[in-house]
Amino acid sequence: MAVGVLALQGSFNEHIAVLKRLGVKGIEIRKAEQLQSVSSLIIPGGESTTMAKLAEFHNLFPALREFVKMGKPVWGTCAGLIFLADKAVGQKTGGQELIGGLNCTVHRNFFGSQIQSFETELAIPEVAAKEGGPPTFRAVFIRAPAILEVGPDVQILADVPASSVITESAESGQKVIVAVKQGNMLATAFHPELTADTRWHSYFLKMVPEFGGTSSMITTTGEGSSFYERPRIDLPVFQ
């Protein structure tokens, strides 16, 4: 029962570490044929343009698109969200290739540059209802994208008020969508793998058929640490 983690660039090691805490093996995926050995996939955060160039170099895009079309669970975090979107704006000159399948439009650098990275509390009613714990999740946004528009088949799992973050891309009173689910696809603009709260990972694992949709196969406690322990806050916090 292994979960594939695209390991071209970015925070793939952090995702694999969280999966290990949950008693699940993560397999680094760098070649198209390796996708045949897993039935679910995490596309981590990183530099989306660099990841796209590496994926193109290794001829991964056709296999990744087929993986999504087959209905296998896929979770994209930050750059992974951009990869899964049907449309992306705010890209560098020339754009980048996308996997697609997620019926939404993503703004690549919605929250600004690296120095505008931040942490904030997100209300997560759907995840909290299924995974327990607090009704909020402390999310880490690093040079993060955001979802501008979603189709009718997309479920919004989390958003933030535009007034709570520093960005020139948002309009007054606007809700900024930062987490969605559509069928076999989960996408988050933030980095759950950089926190001690593993609920997003266990939520994704329940989308994987071989895990039976139950939490009985998943361990949720780490050695000497609370399941919902919050990491030390290093980034600016906007309330």
Give catalytic residues, as residue numbers.
78, 191, 193
Residue pair 90/107 in contact (Cβ under 8 Å)? The answer is: yes
Evaluate whether 162 touches 173 at the Cβ level (below 8 Å): yes
